[in-house]
Amino acid sequence: MAVGVLALQGQRAHSRLGVVGVEVRKPEQLDSVASLIIPGGESTTMAKLAEYHNLFPALREFVKLGKPVWGTCAGLIFLANKAYGKKEGGQELVGGLDCTVQRNFFGSRLQSFETELLVPDLASKEGGPETFRGVFIRAPAVLEVGPDVEVLADYPIPANKLPDQYRGPEPDEESSTATVKVIVAVRHKNLLGTAFHPELTADIRWHSYFLKMASELDEGSSNAVTAISAT
């Protein structure tokens, strides 16, 4: 079955993904896809459009059924259980990904930037690179994760480069040289979240990771059915 791409803001991300992508705008379209990618955009606008199309109940059901969903940037915000931002409390979320995110974490100082991230899970068995070029565009960050959430990548930044509200009250010598690991990629069971945009690079290893994750979950569910029918 195809991979759905939530296309509320008209993205055509799937054309770059190297998989058969089906644009999803209506709840019933989720029935025809095995997994879903929620791309970036403006999460508050996406939420309004999702509400208008009555997509939230179907999206939550999709997540609850254990189907693989990958949110990038605004998509990560969408999947999070809790999001802080300008319109705190005013934005509806799909939820399911047990973490708290901060919208526009890197603020105006670093609204868009690229950096080399260390992602051990992306290294191939043959000893391929562990690094991935992260493209961050007004990106969120994950502030807190629940016990079952796996951190796949963090971005180490000097404490004195953190946005003002995350710095200690009195930056002393020690805190100005300390490094803070800002979480930027997480996995929680069937849900994957990246704060950056892998689809804007030519490197398709995150897409391969998601497809592998989807096929493992699929195998897991057929094993579960076999186990039930065998008893």
Annotated binding site for L-glutamine: 41-43, 103, 137-138
CA 10 to chain centre: 19
C-beta of 4 vs 41, nearer to ligand GLN: 41
> Could you count the other beta carbons within 10 Å of the beta carbon of residue 38?
30
Parallel/antiparallel/unpaired status of strands 179-188 and 191-194: antiparallel
Active site annotation includes 197: yes
| Binding test (CB under 6 A) with ligand GLN, winner from 30, 73, 99, 191 | 73
Sign, CA torsion 154/66/93/41: positive
- 67: burial class by Cβ within 10 Å (0-12, 13-18, 19+)? buried
* Size of residue set near ligand GLN by CB under 6 A: 11
Q: Give 222's contacts (C-beta < 8 A, 6+ positions apart).
A: none
| Binding test (CB under 6 A) with ligand GLN, winner from 42, 121, 144, 218 | 42
Which residue of the chain is nearest ligand GLN when measured via CB? 40
Active site annotation includes 73: yes
**Does residue 201 bind ligand GLN (CB under 6 A)?**
no
C-beta of 74 vs 99, nearer to ligand GLN: 74
Give contact residues for ligand GLN (rule: CB under 6 A): 40-43, 73-74, 77, 103-104, 137-138
Residues annotated catalytic, as ranges: 73, 197, 199
